[in-house]
Chain A
């Protein structure tokens, strides 16, 4: 346990004292290193006393409440919205729909292009079920909700299609926004020459970020500026999107996201429906308006991970050397917005093989636009690739750990680029040692405890590391403290604590002398908490600004402020394969009579660069692994093909792991460093999730002898009496 003092004060984000120090302290003798030390969260006291404010908590004078009305049909046109019954209802201030809503700029979107998911209330078309079609605004929440329920909407329904598969006739090549498909060597010839070939299909369902805080936005106009408090992962990027969407001068828009109750990608897609509608309402009604999505609306109106359907073919020699990896992946998209679920990412970089081919396919169906969820692409892709690797080991009767070790590449197998620092082997070996992998009997269905079958499994994984342009400014104050301003957001990552440590190290002072300002678009351009690139991007800007400030301090008159934008420094970085690595090991029990799978042990070893704060980094990795466990066993957004609707849009229907599902989990680090980053860091937000589902699915195979190629590993897919009825599990050859 660390010795960092804990203050009961909720005001812990300020410097603890105003001790005067010499800002340019002796660089040879910095204070005890802030980076690498376990420190508790600076906002911890506020979080355990309920005093920190999330988007829906901000007190506001004259606040009106908006209630979102969503479509009950999946495709068609709105014939009429009859507001007559609603207008006279107590407290109702107005109804906004496509007939009176402010016009939006239909070019607004994400970096994939225009995003129709944001272009709400612009016409009478219904493109998917649960589409927001109106907002009812009233003096109180109860009045708004009651009026929304009374709104009469009629539709002209049209046929819909939500039946996604790899063979769908509308399938088309996916966007090459993040690079072309791989074609290295002759896959077909190498497969033909292989001693064993695995050729299997793997499927993952729609999965939701399901952050505990439902999306909420409060918007109002103040002195010709649009003021917004919103739950999102990057206030600067959201402010830019709002400006584009509403055709405003970017300087007119200020977005704050003081404390955010989780994101996992669900608060990263430009501008959420809560925010679009809140801005429309305050602009129309001239009052501050708060729009908070219900939990069911979060499921139906906020982007999710698309369902995927993947075919993986791997050919290997008898000694385990891979000859070919052929990974074809299809995923759902909406016609409203383009997107890439880059499932083949790891197949390009994780293993050496003579031939590698990837093909990515987008299938447009009538759903809301999918977008990133924790470890986009890599997570469902890892499930397919790492399950297939386990199947190769099975056919070769080889230790799956040994199979990975035999296929370590020396350069990027597709890119040909060197690795900046590849530490997968260290993760595999140390993880195996701690887990006790050496005693494993690799044959399936060999361990029993009473009626339970017991198995173990593992997976290797990587996740891309890097930084994106951000700016920071630092002021040396007259009292010896430093104010660090950066448009970062803390969605639970511990950004406040981590960035204070980074700034302290860069300035050679104690973290207590840092006053950190974040979560405000007025603080300047900054990347969001996304892509495991928040901390790397923000730290880079802070480190450079600190170096510049220190060089100017000398005899300068205080206060002195310097700013730094990393756009140019990032451009000078030589291209390399830069990744975090991990190895995940799991032990499960399976009750074949009930189909119940329980994870008994879960261990992850991680190479994630230099660790800024081991306490908080471990929490993120453990949490990521729990999300992977949840994905393996519980999570499935179910869409009814007959109605096109999401039929389990709440926490009773869409299960996420609860206390009772989660064992004690071990996550630890191997020494690592990213040479291309000024602080040596890589990012810890997503890699915990990426490899976990395959490690668990492989353990279920080891316990039962049955492959689970479709997630989640539901009871009915494990129950032995029903094997083969509707899933892809096949009884293996019991040796």
Chain B
């Protein structure tokens, strides 16, 4: 096997453009962490089962461990490091601190990015598995605790900060949907 299978790609991460030469086997997660020093996104399982690596890719939440870096060529990537606006924490980040929405903090970067992406999905009217009325012309689903829990279930937290995370999302949802 040879190792000369590399590709040149462009990634726009948190507003900065990076030109990279990546091993074609490299995941977006490893490109961010090992290639660009963005160690905010975490590797909890490396197979899309825990959500700790969640980032926003062109505004949509993805598990960056199952996204090849070459497939993200040209994309806008937002990691947890890019959520705060010029050092000013977003309402969701502040709520995580105030309500203690984490303990060890390892899943937190993924929970935060996932919640931002989830709120955008909700604002766009997407239903979830617990949405009662999923008919195309049905009403936009009300974002209650059950909806948040269902939509956030791809992000595991072993410390068990779930109740505080759900509260933080619900308390800031309206403000986050505006600031997004």
Bound Cα distance A370, B47 (Å): 26
In the complex, A294 has a CB within 8 A of chain B? yes
Interface of A: prevailing SS: loop
Query: Is B163 a contact partner of A48 (Cβ separation < 8 A)?
Result: no
Contacts of A491 in B (CB 8 A): 104
Q: What's the nearest-Cβ distance from chain B to residue A312, in Å? A: 28
Query: Is A627 a contact partner of B160 (Cβ separation < 8 A)?
Result: yes
In the complex, A562 has a CB within 8 A of chain B? no
Query: Is B46 a contact partner of A295 (Cβ separation < 8 A)?
Result: yes
Query: Is B87 a contact partner of A8 (Cβ separation < 8 A)?
Result: yes
Bound Cα distance A624, B103 (Å): 12
- Contact mask B90-121 → A, CB, 8 Å, 1/0? 00011011101011111111001000000000
Beyond A142-B23, A262-B104, whether A650 also contacts B47 by CB under 8 A is yes
Closest to B50 in A: A651
Query: Is A45 a contact partner of B89 (Cβ separation < 8 A)?
Result: yes
Give the total of B residues in contact with A, Cβ under 8 Å: 65
Q: What's the nearest-Cβ distance from chain B to residue A670, in Å? A: 21
Q: What's the nearest-Cβ distance from chain A to residue B45, in Å? A: 4
- Contact mask A647-662 → B, CB, 8 Å, 1/0? 0001110001111101
Contacts of A616 in B (CB 8 A): 100
In the complex, A463 has a CB within 8 A of chain B? no
Contacts of A656 in B (CB 8 A): 156, 158
Beyond A41-B100, A43-B105, A50-B40, whether A622 also contacts B160 by CB under 8 A is yes
- Interface stretch, picked from A53-61, A111-119, A383-391, A541-549, is A53-61
CB within 8 A of B45: which of A43, A295, A619? A295
In the complex, B161 has a CB within 8 A of chain A? yes
Bound Cα distance A262, B102 (Å): 11
Bound Cα distance A52, B40 (Å): 8
In the complex, B180 has a CB within 8 A of chain A? no
Closest to B3 in A: A90
In the complex, A36 has a CB within 8 A of chain B? no
- Contact mask B41-54 → A, CB, 8 Å, 1/0? 11111110110100
Query: Is A620 a contact partner of B39 (Cβ separation < 8 A)?
Result: no
Query: Is B163 a contact partner of A47 (Cβ separation < 8 A)?
Result: no
Name the residue among A143, A212, A261, A663 with the largest chain B CB count within 10 angstroms: A212
Bound Cα distance A214, B25 (Å): 21
Query: Is A619 a contact partner of B161 (Cβ separation < 8 A)?
Result: yes
Closest to A651 in B: B49
Q: What's the nearest-Cβ distance from chain A to residue B1, in Å? A: 7
Bound Cα distance A281, B149 (Å): 43
Contacts of A725 in B (CB 8 A): none
Contacts of B79 in A (CB 8 A): 50
Query: Is A212 a contact partner of B44 (Cβ separation < 8 A)?
Result: yes
Contacts of A660 in B (CB 8 A): 149-150, 153
Q: What's the nearest-Cβ distance from chain A to residue B86, in Å? A: 9
In the complex, B132 has a CB within 8 A of chain A? no
In the complex, A91 has a CB within 8 A of chain B? yes
In the complex, A260 has a CB within 8 A of chain B? yes
Contacts of A214 in B (CB 8 A): 43-45
Closest to B25 in A: A142
Query: Is B52 a contact partner of A212 (Cβ separation < 8 A)?
Result: yes
Bound Cα distance A140, B25 (Å): 11
Contacts of B2 in A (CB 8 A): 90
In the complex, A210 has a CB within 8 A of chain B? yes
Beyond A6-B97, A212-B158, whether A141 also contacts B34 by CB under 8 A is yes
Query: Is B37 a contact partner of A59 (Cβ separation < 8 A)?
Result: yes
Question: Which of B112-159 touch A at CB < 8 Å?
Answer: 112, 145, 148-150, 152-159
In the complex, A626 has a CB within 8 A of chain B? yes
Contacts of B23 in A (CB 8 A): 140, 142
Bound Cα distance A478, B125 (Å): 59
Query: Is A49 a contact partner of B84 (Cβ separation < 8 A)?
Result: yes
Q: What's the nearest-Cβ distance from chain B to residue A150, in Å? A: 8
Contacts of A142 in B (CB 8 A): 23, 25-26, 30
Contacts of A141 in B (CB 8 A): 30, 34
Bound Cα distance A659, B162 (Å): 6
Q: What's the nearest-Cβ distance from chain A to residue B103, in Å? A: 4
Q: What's the nearest-Cβ distance from chain B to residue A491, in Å? A: 6
Bound Cα distance A47, B44 (Å): 16
Closest to B41 in A: A50
Bound Cα distance A565, B112 (Å): 41
Contacts of B62 in A (CB 8 A): none
Query: Is B160 a contact partner of A623 (Cβ separation < 8 A)?
Result: yes
Query: Is B3 a contact partner of A48 (Cβ separation < 8 A)?
Result: no
Question: Which of B1-59 touch A at CB < 8 Å?
Answer: 1-3, 23, 25-26, 30, 33-34, 37-47, 49-50, 52
Query: Is A41 a contact partner of B97 (Cβ separation < 8 A)?
Result: yes
Query: Is B46 a contact partner of A294 (Cβ separation < 8 A)?
Result: yes
- Contact mask A213-249 → B, CB, 8 Å, 1/0? 1100000000000000000000000000000000000
Query: Is A40 a contact partner of B98 (Cβ separation < 8 A)?
Result: yes
What are 20 A-B pairs with beta-carbon distances under 8 A?
A6-B94, A40-B100, A41-B97, A47-B105, A48-B93, A48-B97, A48-B108, A49-B81, A50-B109, A142-B25, A212-B42, A212-B159, A262-B106, A264-B158, A294-B46, A295-B49, A492-B102, A622-B160, A623-B103, A650-B47
A interface with B by C-beta (< 8 Å): 1-2, 6, 8-9, 40-41, 43-45, 47-54, 56-57, 59, 89-91, 140-143, 146, 150, 209-214, 259-262, 264, 292, 294-295, 491-494, 615-616, 618-620, 622-627, 650-652, 656-660, 662-665
Going nearest first, the 9 A-B pairs with the smallest beta carbon separation are A50-B40, A492-B104, A90-B3, A261-B106, A623-B160, A626-B160, A47-B105, A492-B103, A50-B80
